[in-house]
Amino acid sequence: MKALTTTTAASTGHPAYSQVLPCAAQSAGEARRLVLAACGAWGLDELAESGTLLVSELVGNAVRHTRCQLVRVEVARLGRDRVRISVTDRSAALPVRREPGDGATCGRGLLVLDALADRWGTDPLAYGKRVWVELVRQHPAP
């Protein structure tokens, strides 16, 4: 199990991609397109598949577990081979790890983050929280 940590991303000089979306299930598609655009622009296409799955999970969790009206999705390049994807909402409630039963159809979101992200965590904010994941290219570019 990966530790739930709080950090601040350092600026790399690369522009971040950010979009405010309705807190609704259909926003996951727009969030996936944002991740694809950012990874493509930075030449980090190999991170796009995991990134799109993770951002779908983050948006889905915000939709299911908060009463927010909007979410902010951001994709930031932290280094040559590292990307951070975050979803910010106005709920102060932090993610809670659950043990889903064998027949459960939900409750595996944080397990997905554990499996696919190199790191993930939360940043409590004065107006809500940010949940983020980081992906690292496994074979760095020369």
Most confident by average pLDDT, 6-10, 44-48, 113-117: 44-48
Task: State the amino acid at position 119 in one-letter form.
Answer: R
pTM here is 0.85
**Helical axes 48-65 vs 109-116, angle rounded to 10°:** 160
Residue-range domains of the chain with CATH: 16-98+106-136 (3.30.565.10)
pLDDT of residue 112: 83
Query: Residue ranges of the alpha helices (H) in the chain?
Result: 27-41, 48-65, 109-116
> Which residues in the chain belong to E strands, given as ranges?
4-5, 17-22, 70-79, 82-89, 119-125, 128-136
Please say if the pLDDT value at position 21 is more than 70.
yes
Six-digit token pair at 130?
């940010």
